[in-house]
Amino acid sequence: MREDRPPPPPSRGGAYSPPPPDQVLENVLEHVLQFLTFRRDRNAAALVCRSWHRAEALTRSELFIGNCYAVAPRRAMERFRRATAVTIKGKPRFADFNLMPPDWGANFTPWVTSMAQCYRALEKLCLKRMFVTDEDLELLASFPSFRELVLICCDGFGTSGLAVVASKCRKLRVLDLIEDEVTDDEIDWISCFPEGETCLESLIFDCVECPIYFEALERLVARSPSLKKLKLNRYVSIVQLYRLMIRAPQLTHLGTGSFSPSEIVAQGDQEPDYSSAFDACRSLVCLSGFREIVPDYLPAIYPVCANLTSLNFYGEACFLCLQVLDTVRDAGLQAVGATCKDLRELRVFPIDAREDSEAPVSDVGLLAISEGCRKLQSILYFCQRMTNAAVIAMSENCPELVVFRLCIMGRHLPDHVTREPMDEGFGAIVKNCKKLTRLATSGLLTDRAFSYIGQYGKLVRTLSVAFAGDSDTGLKYVLEGCPRLQKLEIRDSPFGDSALRSGLYRYYNMRFLWMSSCRLTRRGCKEIAQQMPHLVVEMINGEEEEVKEDYVDTLYMYRSLDGPRADAPSFVTIL
Amino acid sequence: MEVCRKTANGLDGTELRLGLPGGGLEGDVVKNSAANGKRGFEEIVDFKLKFSPKGTCTNYMDQSDEKVVKISPKDKKFLPCSNDPPKPPSKAQVVGWPPVRSFRKNILAVQKSSDEEREKKIGSNNPVFVKVSVDGAPYLRKVDLKMYKSYQELSGALGNMFRFFTMGNCGSQGMKDFMNESKLMDLLSGSDYVPTYEDKDGDWMLVGDVPWEMFVHSCKRLRIMKGKEAIGLAPRAMEKCKNRT
């Protein structure tokens, strides 16, 4: 239906008349544009001219909203009338670390309300850091074609909402709950899936901290022949896991729940043959979980490890992505470096996430990884000790790096060998890793580090800074450099109004700027707000007090097509 | 080697993640097995390579040389730069650092309200959410009692939500009916469903028992029972009424 195109001229004398040339062109254009999938390409196409804008809008099936407050739901949906898959992101990332009070916003309700009118044919929805209520889920469940729900770092709903989705979405294929906060409404939502065969392909609920009725889960798995991904929560014991695995040997992704026996195992019962259960799952490529590991059971996964990885005999590594705890120690990382030659992504988390804990990984491990895993693209590394030399080595050994996130947990820690700031290390990363798009810094950094980042970080889109820099100059380097910067989040760094002003020309081209516990004043923020009418400038108070005269607690600002939001809570002041 | 597509949480198709009890890091992590004498990661995977695990780097920083600053959680001012003399090594924890997602995001988790928290909430303009369950309905609802000023309004809202439940007469006449024992019995045996609530003391009471404001203060959760089951509550309701007058 071409509702926004002028009607074709009337045909003459009843004979067939071919469509006018520009309409032919538009038809062709629409057919061609169907093949454009990358969002950025589509955005570029939409800027060519009006008819391209129109055609692109009608052919866009996946709608991505990077900031739920950047555009009103209605406006987005009226432009892209035919979208069937929507992704919306809400709160800024630092909200994950308790840097933002609750009830800040990012409510899904206005979106789902508009969708109920404009996107009845919606099939897929992905929400990240949004506040979603049970009522929202209920409304979503009423969309007849809805089949994929992915919720990441969301909260506001409970097992009641899950129950409605399970029972009403007849075509549900994917229900992925990833790191959400789900309240326990004492509803057995697993039992709410309808009887008979389901279309389920993925069921991820490891974050749901509520007991489940296992028999219902077992029956569900048994009647879901398409199920490939299953990630269980910690209320599933190893015995129960076994029962599930023998029912679903076709699984490719398995999250194993607690991986320990529940207390109810009777004495003298024959222990199930875990090894053969794992062995039967020939297609497993992803294994996660092990929440309460009882090591006696670990040998069971050896057969699967052979499929997952060849961290072993033959030197080929199928591991592309590895997430470990730092208890592997530098030695473990050396082993990884020696064997996982194809590793693309590595995340090393701290078992003890405090600043002054003993960290068993350090520059030694990082160096080993860099020497072994030359194809590394993404790294997240928590440690207590680091050297510039190791970071420089990584920049030289791993030129494919796209994401480099180093967290030296002690604030302001210099190179532990030379006692120098970590400037040169991070400088080398931006200089040598030409594909770098995401960078997170830590350790002792002077303004020089930021001069490197500004100068060499040509493709950097996301930058996270904490406890770094000497003066406004540091931030100015970044705002005057880094041509592709989109998301900038800064905490506890000595950047003030003058630095903020230096970025004035570019804030419309960024998704957001977050600055907390810096040296911004209310007056400085107000200046920005006055000069940039399409920027929403939020001052967020950590404690619910009067606005203090000195520095602003948190500045969160973002561009918006539809002005300041109407749902800001009392602790948010929009300038 | 094929490159697997990234999934929604950014992880490739071929991954190994080892989990932590209750761990909610940006992934899962393994319990510190070394501490309890259980096997560590390097023993899980079958290394055929010979290497001797090197000791951890001994060249680590002397505690006293660390440039650390004692930060109180409320101190949000700018932190000193490298020119400052080193401070003593004791570190108070700073909010949100290191940037590891906590398993329970304490601030954002829906907390079980203690009485003081409830009082605080009721005093301010914060919403007072209570769960509403209806016998026979598959799922619970939550209502904000602060949105309503009378039993009538609440009845209307719940009626909309559940559509098959009636609260009968409410408002002052309804309350009087509830206080009249014989009329109460009529009401209970007549209607299909009866609203009850659990009060602060843990007792199950009939809704309409007490003045609205007192109800908002004391109601912890609502349950819409089948009429027959609620009959047993009536005498207790009468007792409490008499004690209050």
Q: Do A416 and B61 touch (CB under 8 A)?
A: yes
Scanning every residue of chain A, which has its alpha carbon at the shortest distance from the alpha carbon of B133?
A: A185
Alpha-carbon gap, residue A363 to A303, rounded angstroms? 33
Q: Do B34 and A160 touch (CB under 8 A)?
A: no
Query: Rounded mean pLDDT of chain A?
Result: 85
- The mean per-residue pLDDT over the stretch A340-356 comes to 77
Q: Do B97 and A320 touch (CB under 8 A)?
A: no
Q: Which of B8, B56, B100 sits opposite A360 (nearest CB)?
A: B56
Q: Which residues of A touch B74 (CB under 8 A)?
A: 543
Alpha-carbon gap, residue A438 to A403, rounded angstroms? 5
pLDDT for the residue numbered A280: 64
Q: Which domains does chain A have, with CATH numbers?
A: 61-227 (3.80.10.10), 245-261+274-317 (no CATH)
Q: Is residue A21 pLDDT above 80, yes or no?
A: no
Beta bridge partners of A408: A383
Least confident range of A68-72, A475-479, B15-19, B79-83: B79-83
Q: Is residue B101 pLDDT above 50, yes or no?
A: yes
- The mean per-residue pLDDT over the stretch A196-222 comes to 92
B187 Cα to chain A: minimum distance (Å)? 30
- The mean per-residue pLDDT over the stretch A479-485 comes to 96
Alpha-carbon gap, residue A160 to A187, rounded angstroms? 6
A331 and chain B: CB distance < 8 Å anywhere?
A: yes
Q: What are phi and psi of B50, to 5 degrees?
A: -90, 120
Q: Do A295 and B66 touch (CB under 8 A)?
A: no
B130 and chain A: CB distance < 8 Å anywhere?
A: no
- The mean per-residue pLDDT over the stretch A64-79 comes to 95
Q: Which residues of A touch B100 (CB under 8 A)?
A: 97, 349-350, 353, 382
Q: Do A407 and B102 touch (CB under 8 A)?
A: no
pLDDT tens digits, one per residue of B146-163: 888 888 888 777 766 655
User: Where residue B48 falls among pLDDT bands split at 50, 70, 90?
Assistant: very low
A239 and chain B: CB distance < 8 Å anywhere?
A: no
User: Where residue B51 falls among pLDDT bands split at 50, 70, 90?
Assistant: very low
Least confident range of A26-40, B40-54, B114-128: B40-54
- The mean per-residue pLDDT over the stretch A184-189 comes to 89
Q: State what percent of residues in chain B have pLDDT above 90.
A: 0
Q: Is residue B73 pLDDT above 50, yes or no?
A: no
Q: Do A323 and B1 touch (CB under 8 A)?
A: no
Q: Which of A302, A322, A384 sits opposite B16 (nearest CB)?
A: A322
Contact (Cβ atoms closer than 8 angstroms) between residue A402 and residue A436: yes
Q: Is residue A447 pLDDT above 70, yes or no?
A: yes
Q: Name the helix (H) or strand (E) containing B227.
A: helix B227-230
HSE, side-chain direction, 13 A CA sphere, residue A325: 25
Q: Which residues of A touch B61 (CB under 8 A)?
A: 385, 413, 416
Q: Which residues of A touch B57 (CB under 8 A)?
A: 330, 362-364, 385
B161 and chain A: CB distance < 8 Å anywhere?
A: no
B20 and chain A: CB distance < 8 Å anywhere?
A: yes
Interface subset of B 169-208, CB within 8 angstroms of A: none
Burial grade of A417 (CB within 10 A; 0-12, 13-18, 19 or more): middle
Scanning every residue of chain B, which has its alpha carbon at the shortest distance from the alpha carbon of A321?
A: B15
Q: Where are the alpha helices (DSSP H) in A251-362?
A: 274-280, 302-308, 329-339
Contact (Cβ atoms closer than 8 angstroms) between residue A477 and residue A455: yes
B79 and chain A: CB distance < 8 Å anywhere?
A: yes
Q: What are phi and psi of A58, to 5 degrees?
A: -80, -20
pLDDT tens digits, one per residue of A393-438: 999 999 999 999 999 998 999 999 999 999 999 999 999 999 999 9
B-interface mutation test, from A286, A316, A551, most B Cβ less than 10 A away: A286
Q: Is residue B64 pLDDT above 60, yes or no?
A: no
- The mean per-residue pLDDT over the stretch B71-77 comes to 37
Scanning every residue of chain A, which has its alpha carbon at the shortest distance from the alpha carbon of B141?
A: A160
A319 Cα to chain B: minimum distance (Å)? 6
The distance of Cα A474 from the centroid of its chain, to the nearest Å, equals 28
User: Where residue B55 falls among pLDDT bands split at 50, 70, 90?
Assistant: very low
Q: In 3D, which of A405, A333, A338 has the Cα closest to residue A362? A: A333
Cis peptide before B211 (omega within 30 of 0): no
Alpha-carbon gap, residue B26 to B103, rounded angstroms? 10
Alpha-carbon gap, residue B8 to B11, rounded angstroms? 7
A327 Cα to chain B: minimum distance (Å)? 6
Q: What are phi and psi of B162, to 5 degrees?
A: -105, -20
Q: Which of A163, A290, A344 sits opposite B12 (nearest CB)?
A: A344
Alpha-carbon gap, residue A447 to A320, rounded angstroms? 36
The distance of Cα A141 from the centroid of its chain, to the nearest Å, equals 24
Q: Do A345 and B47 touch (CB under 8 A)?
A: no
Return the HEC string of A537-566. EEEECCCCCCCCCCCCCEEEEEECCCCCCC
Q: Do A349 and B82 touch (CB under 8 A)?
A: no
* CB contacts < 8 A (A, B): 322
Contact (Cβ atoms closer than 8 angstroms) between residue A464 and residue A405: yes
Return the HEC string of A15-69. CCCCCCHHHHHHHHHHHHHCCCCCHHHHHHHHCCCHHHHHHHHHHCCEEEECCCC
One DSSP character per residue, A483-534 reads TT--EEEEES---BHHHHHHTGGGGGGSSEEEEESSB--HHHHHHHHHH-TT
A313 CB neighbour count, 10 Å cutoff: 12
Least confident range of A7-11, A80-84, A552-556, B130-134: A7-11
pTM > 0.95:
no
pLDDT for the residue numbered B16: 55
Interface subset of A 266-305, CB within 8 angstroms of B: 285-293, 295, 298, 301-302, 305
**Which residue do the tokens 């903020």 mark?**
A500
Contact (Cβ atoms closer than 8 angstroms) between residue B28 and residue A232: no
B204 CB neighbour count, 10 Å cutoff: 16
Contact (Cβ atoms closer than 8 angstroms) between residue A356 and residue A378: no
Beta bridge partners of A63: A86
B113 and chain A: CB distance < 8 Å anywhere?
A: no
Scanning every residue of chain B, which has its alpha carbon at the shortest distance from the alpha carbon of A127?
A: B8
Beta bridge partners of A573: A539
pLDDT for the residue numbered A177: 96
Q: Is residue A204 pLDDT above 60, yes or no?
A: yes
Scanning every residue of chain B, which has its alpha carbon at the shortest distance from the alpha carbon of A290?
A: B19
Strands A174-178 and A229-232: unpaired
Structure tokens at A517: 């516990």
Q: Which of B38, B79, B107 sits opposite A467 (nearest CB)?
A: B79
User: Where residue A345 falls among pLDDT bands split at 50, 70, 90?
Assistant: confident
- The mean per-residue pLDDT over the stretch A497-525 comes to 94
Q: Is residue A182 pLDDT above 90, yes or no?
A: yes
Q: Is residue B179 pLDDT above 70, yes or no?
A: no
Q: Which of A186, A187, A492 sits opposite B79 (nearest CB)?
A: A492
One DSSP character per residue, B96-114 reads T-S----SS-TTTS-PPPP
- The mean per-residue pLDDT over the stretch B126-134 comes to 77
A371 and chain B: CB distance < 8 Å anywhere?
A: no
Residue A338: partners with Cβ closer than 8 Å, 6 or more residues away? A368, A372, B49, B51
Interface subset of A 398-417, CB within 8 angstroms of B: 407, 409-414, 416-417
pLDDT for the residue numbered B79: 37
Q: Do A332 and B25 touch (CB under 8 A)?
A: no
Contact (Cβ atoms closer than 8 angstroms) between residue A312 and residue B48: yes
Alpha-carbon gap, residue A355 to A315, rounded angstroms? 37
Which range, A21-35, A390-404, A544-558, B110-124, has the best average confidence (pLDDT)? A390-404
Alpha-carbon gap, residue B215 to B208, rounded angstroms? 8
Q: Is residue B197 pLDDT above 90, yes or no?
A: no
CATH 3.10.20.90 corresponds to the domain B129-229: yes
Q: In 3D, which of A87, A441, A37 has the Cα closest to residue B99? A: A441
Contact (Cβ atoms closer than 8 angstroms) between residue A92 and residue A66: no
Q: What is the ipTM of this complex?
A: 0.75
Burial grade of A264 (CB within 10 A; 0-12, 13-18, 19 or more): exposed
Least confident range of A32-46, A191-205, A360-374, B72-86: B72-86
Q: Do B32 and A344 touch (CB under 8 A)?
A: no
pLDDT tens digits, one per residue of A273-325: 666 666 666 666 555 554 444 444 444 544 444 333 322 212 233 345 555 66
3-state SS class at A79: helix
Q: Which residues of B touch A569 (CB under 8 A)?
A: none
B43 Cα to chain A: minimum distance (Å)? 10
Alpha-carbon gap, residue A39 to A251, rounded angstroms? 31
Q: Do B48 and A470 touch (CB under 8 A)?
A: no
Each domain of chain B, given as residue ranges in start order, spans: 129-229
Q: State what percent of residues in chain A have pLDDT above 90.
A: 59
Scanning every residue of chain B, which has its alpha carbon at the shortest distance from the alpha carbon of A126?
A: B8
Q: State what percent of residues in chain A have pLDDT above 70.
A: 83
